[in-house]
Structure 1
Amino acid sequence: MRVREPAAGSAKDETLRRARFSLLACFLIQGASFALLVTRIPAIQRRYDMGDGTLTAVLSVVPIVAGVGSVIAGALARRFGSRTVLRVSQPIVCATLIGVGAGDGLWQLAVVLFVFGLSLGAVDATMNMQGVAIQARAGRSIMLGFHASYSLGGLAGAGAAGLCAWGGVPLVAMYAGAAALTVPALLVVGPGYLRADDAPAVADPERPRRTLPWRPLIPLCLVMTFAYIGDSTVANWSAVYLEKVLDSSEAFAVVPYIAYMVTTLVGRSVGDLAVRRWGMVEVVRGGAVVAAAGFAVVLAAPHAAVGLLGFVILGVGLCVLVPQTFAAGGRQSPEDADEAVARLNIFNYVGFLIGTPLVGGIADLASFRLAMLVPLFLVLAVLPLARAFAPHGEPAHDR
């Protein structure tokens, strides 16, 4: 989908409002669906009788295959438009979760997760393609709002999964119930997604393909990777860090990640206002500094309460980096915005795959406090990369 100038006229304004509402629902459902999977991993492990090593190998399939799905989505979006790819792939994400709860053999789980991963990558890519296009046509920053909806969905999905676990609801019943709600909802909102009515490949499939250069995207790819290394560190190691390093109780150890998710939601909910006021470059730099401060507080924390404060600060800082990276990629290559977004989305999964073993390996070899230096330095490395977020012809400011 080619990025266009803001639309004018009441009919076009209504189309844009409908597209924005539809995409908010899309992000919400995607966040909830992913949370329903990851928060029930212990139950999935028990159902399929997997050891820790087997579980790690099976779960690694998802981000790897999702990266492939993102590449495929980029090619399909060029030909059919991101709207069509998104409308097809997201119901598959929701429906395949039923297979996770219904299977009883490891090969069945592997097949389901393979399909889930491909669809997940396609949805992650195309919903951000839509977000970039809607923001470009709106003429103001709204990308963080879409990601706030994803965060809200994640909290809702995690809460629903927790209630189902507490109530002893079988996995297959939980996932079937979720699909019964989400799939019809997607069928309702799907027609509202923005049409790729001006994408060259849709109008003329024989049009010679222009090659999108990698070089201008490399700084943004690095920011995406560093942001997800930081995020995966919080998701996978915050509870362990509080228990093993700061001597917290098991019950208190789960609080930091919940607090991180809440502050991420809050930060994204108001982040667009900050971008409109100070510009994309300054918001990215500010987010990097705040995130580094959060890791520093975690690293130096003398007890669990201070560690919790560090993770709260982290949510405020990290929350702006990923949405702004997608937005910058689309604006940097307006003729190939969909392909730029698809490429950037791959590094979402690269950061996830690198972050957990990197921090865990250093913790095993040295200490968890030393391991926290890695994401701290990586988010600081975003500072010199932030100039890549400036519009063409402007050194470091965007309103």
Structure 2
Amino acid sequence: MTPSEITPRLRQARSALLFSYVAQGAVFALLVTRIPGIQTQYKISDGMLPIFLAAVPILAGVGSISMEHVVKKTSPRAVLRVVQPLVCLTLLGVGLGDQMWEAAVALAAFGLAVGGLDASQAMSAVALQHRYGRERSIMQAFYAAFSLGGIIGASLAWTQVHFKLSLLTMFGSVGVVVALSVLVAGRWYAGPEELGRAVEEATEAANRSIPWKPLLPLCLAMCVAYIGDATVSNWAAKYLQEGLHSSDQMTTVPYNAYMVVMLVGRLLGDSRVQSWGSVRTVRLGAAVCALGFLLVAVSPGAWIAVAAFAVVGLGISVIVPQVFAAGGRLFPKDSDAAVARLNIFNYVGFLVGAPLVGGLAGAMGYRIAMLVPMVLILAVFAVSKAFGPSAVQQPAADTVAV
């Protein structure tokens, strides 16, 4: 589609979906930055906390897979209009109770709903990309919008602690306001009239049979990057609270710093790739991320730890987009199928990272636990050649997929 064919209605749909990503980032950040407060309110032990945190991505995966079938019978717009307000209301549910079983129910509902939200948002984004055409990439903007939402959500968490508001007050007010906002924005989500067959084309592309083997190095890079991301989102606040004995207010700051630098890194990432090339950019990103986690582990105080988590964000910000870009180069005719497979390892990284780092923190302390993602991210060096200009040709029609 040429710029002249991109209608005002299509631009409105893109803007509405960008707002949806901002809203998702804000809700997610508000929840994860207040894990210490949730743990206190529900009296969840340190031993049980990793189990709770591991259950959320598992249920998100279930919700994502289940919602894909619902989308096929309805549309991404219809699902998105329903599940995103539900995610906001589950945030309200997390603030309501004080018994452990209530936390389990609320977080389970959040996991299932956010998985459905993830799937419907991704399908809408990919369909819009199809309509805009491959010559104009709009996907990076959605990642940046999520980061912007994360900054807003972490800032709201700081406000909640600073003004000594209850979780119910903050989660409830944010949940209701964001739910109403996305209900309004839902009027402009792209539907069949704007997308045409774009959803079906994207789904057909994602379901095409392509071999796994060329993608495995990129899958590994995606997995370790999201282990690092899961470490920051799930354990940064706890590390400052228990490892560095920081105030509750201070525990909300590291994720905010991480997302601010992540946003800047994503906005400037394309220029770095053009100057340095993909392989060098990814290697440098992995080295910076590892350095960040090392600084986190040895930080003598809270503010140095905050700066170290920001360094982690700078490193990770360039890896994930380049994973998707490299997958597209490997399979230029089936880039959507490659992206769909690589995106699975987002969940794998969260599923591994949350309990692994939490379990080690309980057994050996947070400083030792923070060295684990530092070591794992260095695996990117071993597979970095996979990010270079692809020597792999599009597989022939008679190639048997693994």
TM-score range, shorter chain: 0.7 to 0.9
1:144 touches 1:323 (CA, 8 Å); kept in 2? yes
CA displacement 1:328-359 (0-9 Å, x = unmatched) = 55676677766655544442232223224434
Kindly state the Cα deviation for residue 62 of structure 1 after the two structures are TM-superposed.
Answer: 1.2
Q: 2:60 aligns with which of 66, 69, 87?
A: 66
Alpha carbons of structure 1 residues 110 and 254: separation in structure 2 relative to 1, 3 Å: closer
The whole-number CA distance in structure 2 between the counterparts of 1:236 and 1:326 is: 24
Tell me what 1:113 maps to: 107
The answer to which of 331-340 and 154-163 deviates more is 331-340
The offset of 1:223, in angstroms, is 1.8
Deviations 1:59-81 (A, max 9, x none): 43211101112222444445545
Tell me by how many angstroms 1:118 deviates.
1.4
Q: CA deviation at 1:9?
A: 4.8
**2:122 counterpart residue number:** 128
Of 155-164 and 99-108, the range deviating more from structure 2: 99-108
1:227-247 C-alpha deviation (Å, 9 max, x unpaired): 1211233345556767888x7
> Using a 3 Å threshold, how does the CA distance of structure 1 residues 279 and 141 change in structure 2: closer, same or farther?
farther
Alignment of 1:159-170 (within 5 A): 159-170=155-166
Alignment-derived partner of residue 95 in structure 2: 101
- Counterpart pick for 1:385 among 383, 387, 393: 383
Asked if 1:268 is matched to 2:266, the reply is yes
Contact 1:326 1:341 in 2 (8 A): yes
> What's the CA shift for 1:197?
2.4
For the Cα contact (< 8 Å) 1:26–1:186, is it kept in 2? yes
Work out the CA distance in 1 between the residues paired with 2:342 and 2:326: 10
The structure-2 alpha-carbon separation of the partners of 1:325 and 1:377, relative to structure 1 and needing over 3 Å to count, comes to same
Partner of residue 400, structure 2: none
3-state SS of 2:196 partner: coil
Aligned to 2:4: 10
Give runs of aligned pairs for residues 67-82 of structure 1, distance below 5 A.
Answer: 67-78=61-72, 80-82=74-76
Residues 1:375 and 2:369 aligned together: no
TM value normalised by structure 2: 0.77
How far apart are the structure 1 equivalents of 2:364 and 2:390?
Answer: 44
Deviations 1:276-304 (A, max 9, x none): 65555554333223223333555566877
Question: What residue in structure 2 maps to residue 4 of structure 1?
Answer: none
Q: Which residue of 2 aligns with 1:223?
A: 221
1:243-262 superposed matches below 5 A: 256-262=254-260
Q: Which whole-Å CA distance do the structure 2 matches of 1:366 and 1:52 have between them?
A: 13
Residues 252, 339 of structure 1: CA spacing in aligned structure 2 closer, same or farther, 3 A cutoff? same
Q: How does 1:158-307 map to 2 (within 5 A)?
A: 158-190=154-186, 191-193=188-190, 196-199=195-198, 201=200, 210-211=208-209, 213-238=211-236, 256-275=254-273, 280-298=278-296
Q: After superposing the two structures, state which structure 1 stretch, 303-312 or 58-67, moved more.
A: 303-312
**For structure 1, which segment, 284-293 or 306-315, has the greater mean C-alpha deviation from structure 2 after superposition?**
306-315
2:196 is aligned with what amino acid? D
> SS of the counterpart of 1:51?
coil
Amino acid at match of 1:23: L
| 2:105 matches 1:90 | no
Q: Give the conservation status (yes or no) of the 8 Å contact 1:70–1:342.
A: no
Q: Give the AA of the match of 2:375.
A: F
- Structure 2 residue 313 is matched with structure 1 residue 319: no
The question of whether the paired residues in 1 share the 8 Å contact of 2:126 and 2:202 is answered with no
For 2:152 and 2:368, how far apart are their aligned partners in 1? 34
Q: 1:381: Cα distance to partner?
A: 1.7
Q: Is the 8 A contact 2:35 2:234 kept in 1?
A: no
In structure 2, relative to structure 1, the CA distance for the partners of 1:109 and 1:253 (3 Å cut) is closer
Are 1:90 and 1:120, in contact at CA under 8 Å, matched by a contact in 2?
A: yes
- The alpha-carbon distance between structure 1 residues 255 and 368, as it changes in their structure 2 partners (threshold 3 A), is same
User: Is the 2:246–2:302 Cα contact (8 Å) retained in structure 1?
Assistant: no
- With 116-125 and 280-289 compared, the bigger mean Cα shift is at 280-289
TM-score scaled to structure 1, two decimals? 0.77
Instruction: Note closer, same or farther for the CA distance 1:349–1:75 as it changes in structure 2 (3 Å cut).
Output: same
Q: Structure 1: how far apart are the matches of 2:386 and 2:267?
A: 24
Question: Kindly tell me: are residues 290 and 45 of structure 1, through their superposed partners in 2, closer, same or farther at Cα, counting changes over 3 Å?
Answer: closer
Query: Which residue of structure 2 lines up, in the alignment, with residue 3 of structure 1?
Result: none
Q: Give the length in aligned residue pairs.
A: 386
Aligned equivalents of 2:250 and 2:202: distance in 1? 56
- 1:52 is paired with a residue whose SS is coil
Letter in 1 for 2:171: Y
Q: 1:234-278 deviations in whole A, cap 9, x for unaligned?
A: 345556767888x78658776554432321122122224434655
| Cα-to-partner distance string for 1:111-165 (whole Å, 9 max, x where unaligned) | 3322221121222234334444545626244433322221221121122233234
Does the CA-based 8 Å contact 2:285-2:316 persist in structure 1? yes
Alpha-carbon shift at residue 32 of structure 1 (Å): 0.6
Contact 2:124 2:190 in 1 (8 A): yes
Indicate how the Cα distance of structure 1 residues 178 and 106 shifts in structure 2: closer, same or farther if over 3 A, else same. Answer: same
Going from structure 1 to structure 2, the CA distance change for 1:296 and 1:192 (only over 3 Å counts) comes to: same
Please tell me the residue identity of whatever aligns with 2:221: V
> In 2 relative to 1, CA 244–159 (structure 1 residues): closer, same or farther, beyond 3 Å?
closer
2:288–2:311 CA contact under 8 A, matched in 1: yes
Deviation (angstroms), 1:221: 2.5
1:323–1:83 Cα change, 3 Å: farther
Instruction: Quickly say closer, same or farther: Cα 1:278–1:334, change in 2 above 3 A.
Output: same
Conserved 8 A contact 2:79-2:120: yes
Q: Is the 8 A contact 2:329 2:390 kept in 1?
A: no
2:28 to 22, 34, 39: 34
Name the CA distance, whole Å, in 2 between partners of 1:380 and 1:364: 24
